[in-house]
Structures are given as structure tokens and as C-alpha cells.
Structure 1
Amino acid sequence: MIDIENVAKSFTLHNQGGTVLQVMAGASLRVAPGECIALTGASGAGKSTLMRLIYGNYLAASGRIVVGGVDVVTAEPREILKLRRETLGYVSQFLRVVPRVPTLDVVAEPLLSVGVDGETARARAGELLSRLNIPEPLWGLSPTTFSGGEQQRVNIARGFAHDYPALLLDEPTASLDTGNRQVVLDLITEAKSRGAAIVGIFHDVAAREAVCDREVDVSVFTPDRAA
């Protein structure tokens, strides 16, 4: 489902005389349906960079990143948008939404965008918000007014609303209490059971051990910058 082959990435530092910084080379990884892979490595090793390359926020300098049959490296923007709408979900650490949109609609939006009718989409959104302990009186309010922990849970609900065949998870259990942390682990386990291919960053070691099938140390893809 996710097939990464010999990917390289560099950044040009225009404020430093056009210096080219090679941050990744030879990155290769395959994630099968129903498998959850944890990206590990020290801070700065490239975990977030690799996630952004898979999602298409960064463009790889070379190599292939195939998700559900679409090569993100060579795909047109409209193909990337379609991939994100139908196939590839991304639960980031931060909730970014249009202000004043009710929380229930924020969570339902991924389903509405693939043609699910409003009643069904909002029912699924409500189910997830309930599981993640967002009180129903808050569902009609914009999540931009919520606490950081509440916003994170809304973001998780939104990310799991649609049954994406592939998922990227960036610290999905960070700063959650024990009860909500377990809900997230259950959601990940359920996604694996239905065949989702998952790549995640989990600094929570216990969470990583609970849901991940194997670990990939991305530091092996980091060139020697001193060379």
C-alpha cells in the first residue's frame, strides 16, 4: 500500500548563499495493508521529513513514493488532492480548521468530501467525538475555542472518520490522559484490522509497542552532513 524506494531530499538555504543541505538519501520502506510502522531516530533524523514527503507536502528530489498506486513524487496536484481525499489520511499534532465551523462538521468533513450523506457522516462524527470524550454540548462550537487537548482529540476524530486505506500519524497519543490514550490505540488497532497501512511517529514507547509491528530508524537514511 505504501512503497518508498530510494528517496532523496535536499533543501536550498537561500539565506545562506544558496547552500544545499542534503537531509535524506536512499530512503526505502514498504508498508503492507494492516501493518503499522513506527519511524524512530533522534530529533532531526528525518522522521517528520519522511512523513511530509509521503503526504506530498515536500517534493522528493528523486526516488518513488507510491501510495495506493499513485506516485506522490510525479503526481499532478489534482492527483495529490484526490489521494488525500480518498486514500491517505494524516493526523498531525495540530488542528487547522476554518474558524466558526462547528466541531461536528469539522469531523464529518472527510466523509462528506467522498460523498457520504450528511446524516451518516455526522452520526459517525458524533460516535468518534463521544469515544474521545468531547462533550456533546461542544459539538456545535468551533474547536478553535477548545483547549489544546480537546483540539488534539477533535483532530484524531477527524483523521479516523473516513476509513483511509493508508494513514500517517504524528504523535497521536501525545499529551493525552490514560483513558483517551487507550481510545486512540483502539482506533489504530481497528484501522489495522480493516487493512489500513499506517506510518507513525510515536515517542510514547508503550503506545509504540502496543500497536506497531516494527520500527524503522530513519537515521540510516540521513547523509553524513560533515562529508
Structure 2
Amino acid sequence: MIRIETLSKTFTLHNQGSAVIPVMANAEFSVAPGECVALTGESGAGKSTLMRMIYGNYLAASGRILIGGTDIVTATPREILALRRHTLGYVSQFLRVVPRVPTREVVAEPLLATGTPPEKARAQVEDLLARLNIPERLWSLSPTTFSGGEQQRVNIARGFAYPYPALLLDEPTASLDAQNRETVLRLVEEAKARGVAIVGIFHDEAARDRLCDRQIDVTRFTPGRAA
């Protein structure tokens, strides 16, 4: 479902004489349906950079990123948007939403964008919000006013609302208490059971050991650094 082939990335420092800094070279791995793969490595090794390339936020210098047959590296913006709508979900560490949009609508947006009837979307959203312990009195309020933990759970609800075949998870259990952490772990396990291919960054070692079938140390793809 996800395949990375000879992937490389550089950054150009335009304010420093256009110096070119190689940050990743010849990254190679694949993720099968129903498999969860953890990206590991010390801080600065390139975990987040690789995740952003897979999602299409960063453009690779060379190589291929195949998501269900679409190459993110050569895809048009329209193709990437379609992929994000139907195929590739992303649960980031931070919730970024338009202010004053109610929580129900924030979480329902991926469902409504793919044609789910509003009443069905509403029911699915409310089930998820209740499961993630977001109080019902908050569902009609903007999540921009919520605590950090509540915002993270809204972000997780949004990411799991639509049944994406592939999913990127960036620290999904960070800042969560034991009860909500367990709920998120079960959501990930259920996604794996449905056949979702998952790439994640997990600093929570116990969560990583429980969820992940393999670990990829991205240090081995970092020029000048030994794994």
C-alpha cells in the first residue's frame, strides 16, 4: 500500500548563499495493508521530514513515494488533494482548524467531503467523540478553546472518522492520560484489523511495542550519520 523507493531530500538555505543541505538519501521500505511501521531514530534524524514527504508537504529531491499506485513525488496538486481525501489520512500532533467552526463539523469534514450523508456522518462523529471522552457540551463549540489533550483527541477523531486505506500517525498518544491513551491504541489496532497501512512516530515505547510490526531507523538514510 505504501512503498518508498530510493527517496532523497535536500534543503536549500537561500539566506546562506543557497547552500544545499542533504538530509536524506536512498530511503527504501514498504508497508503492507494491515501493517504498522514505526519510524525511529534520534532527534534530527529525519522522521518528521520523511513523514511530511509521504504526505506531500515536502517535495522529494529524487525517488518515489507510492501510495496505492500514486507517486507523490510526481503527482499534481490536484492528485495529492484527491489522495488525501480518499486514501491517505494524517494525524499530526497539533490541531489546525478554522476558528469558530464547531467540533462536530471539524471531525465530520473528511466524511462530508467524500459524500457521506450528513446524518450518517453526524452519528459516526458523535460516536467517536464520545469514545474519546470529549464531553457532549463541547461538541457544538470550536476546539480552538479546548485544552491540549482535548484538542489532540479531536484531531485523532478527525483522522479516524474516514476509513483511509493508509494512515500517518505523528505521536498519537502524546499528552494523553491512561484511559484516553488506551482508547487511541484500540483505534489503531482496529484500523490495522481493517487492513489499514500505517506509518507512525511513537516516542511512547510501550505503544510502539504494542502496535508496530516493524521499526525503521531513519538514521540509516541520513547522510553522514551512522545507524
> What's the TM-score, normalizing by structure 2?
0.98
Deviant stretches of 4+, over 6 Å: none
Residues in 2 aligned to 1:189 and 1:179: alpha-carbon distance in whole angstroms: 16
Aligned twin of 2:147? 147
Residues in 2 aligned to 1:33 and 1:190: alpha-carbon distance in whole angstroms: 13
1:56 alignment partner AA: G
Q: Percent identity?
A: 74
Aligned twin of 1:62? 62
Aligned twin of 1:46? 46
Aligned twin of 2:73? 73
Instruction: Show structure 1 runs of 5+ residues with no match.
Output: none
Aligned twin of 1:22? 22
Residues in 2 aligned to 1:219 and 1:29: alpha-carbon distance in whole angstroms: 14
Query: How far apart are 1:29 and its partner, in Å?
Result: 0.9
1:216 aligns with 2:187: no
Aligned twin of 1:5? 5
Output one character per residue of 1:122-159: Cα deviation in whole Å (capped at 9) or x when no partner: 11111111011000010000000101110000000000
Residues in 2 aligned to 1:137 and 1:147: alpha-carbon distance in whole angstroms: 14
Output one character per residue of 1:21-52: Cα deviation in whole Å (capped at 9) or x when no partner: 00000001100000000000000000000000
Aligned with 2:5: secondary structure? Answer: strand
Aligned with 1:182: secondary structure? Answer: helix
Residues in 1 aligned to 2:42 and 2:158: alpha-carbon distance in whole angstroms: 29
Aligned twin of 2:90? 90
Residues in 1 aligned to 2:26 and 2:191: alpha-carbon distance in whole angstroms: 29
Residues in 1 aligned to 2:59 and 2:40: alpha-carbon distance in whole angstroms: 21
1:113 aligns with 2:96: no
Query: How far apart are 1:17 and its partner, in Å?
Result: 1.0
Aligned twin of 1:189? 189
Residues in 2 aligned to 1:218 and 1:77: alpha-carbon distance in whole angstroms: 27
Aligned with 1:3: secondary structure? Answer: strand
Aligned with 1:169: secondary structure? Answer: strand
1:10 alignment partner AA: T
Aligned with 1:133: secondary structure? Answer: coil
Aligned with 1:8: secondary structure? Answer: strand
Aligned twin of 1:207? 207
Residues in 2 aligned to 1:199 and 1:155: alpha-carbon distance in whole angstroms: 17
1:35 alignment partner AA: E
Residues in 2 aligned to 1:42 and 1:160: alpha-carbon distance in whole angstroms: 28
Aligned twin of 1:165? 165
Residues in 2 aligned to 1:44 and 1:132: alpha-carbon distance in whole angstroms: 32
Residues in 1 aligned to 2:122 and 2:171: alpha-carbon distance in whole angstroms: 26
Residues in 1 aligned to 2:140 and 2:131: alpha-carbon distance in whole angstroms: 17
Output one character per residue of 1:90-147: Cα deviation in whole Å (capped at 9) or x when no partner: 0000000111111011101100000001011111111111011000010000000101
Query: How far apart are 1:73 and its partner, in Å?
Result: 0.2
Instruction: Show structure 2 runs of 5+ residues with no match.
Output: none
Aligned twin of 1:37? 37
2:209 alignment partner AA: E
